[in-house]
Amino acid sequence: MTFGTKLRMIRKDYIEKQLEQLSIAISKIIAEIRKAQTVTQINSAISISTEFLKTECECSLEEISKTEPSQTIEFLTQKKKISTEKINLFAELLYEISVSYEKSGKYELAIDLNKKLLTIYNYLNETDKTFSLKRQEKITIIKSKL
């Protein structure tokens, strides 16, 4: 095994470990969002999510809201340099934020975010090697809301 091959393997292991940690963190935030019942709890969960996006993905909900749905993928992949694997995790969190917006009566924000999520999920369907029934269900739910 060459040095270059070993280096690539180490890098791949490191990236996989980072994605695993990111996935665990997002899962915990999503659990908190889902537990939120009152408007205050929902707003608090959205606030935590917003901070997480800023620190872990270097992307804010404000930036996303300013992006046209058709430009969402370009914004995430080229401007923010977020990998497809991270975009998949990112979409899970954005979906829960959208549901929270609906629960708290912020329908316009939810609709705007859902349009962007639809673009993201379609992109993931095109680029991901694995079919996701869960993703397809979310696409169907989002389409019914738009």
From first CA to last CA, the distance across the chain in angstroms is 53
The two three-digit tokens of residue 33, written as one number: 């969002």
pLDDT by residue for the chain (146 residues), tens digit each?
Answer: 675 565 566 666 666 777 677 777 777 888 888 888 888 888 888 888 888 888 877 888 889 999 999 999 999 999 988 888 888 888 999 999 999 999 889 999 999 999 999 999 999 999 988 888 999 999 999 999 98
SS3 114: helix
Are the C-beta atoms of residues 99 and 113 closer than 8 Å to each other? no
Q: Tell me if the pTM is above 0.85.
A: no
Please report, for the chain, the start and end positions of each structural domain, with discontinuous segments joined by +.
3-145
Are the C-beta atoms of residues 97 and 53 closer than 8 Å to each other? no
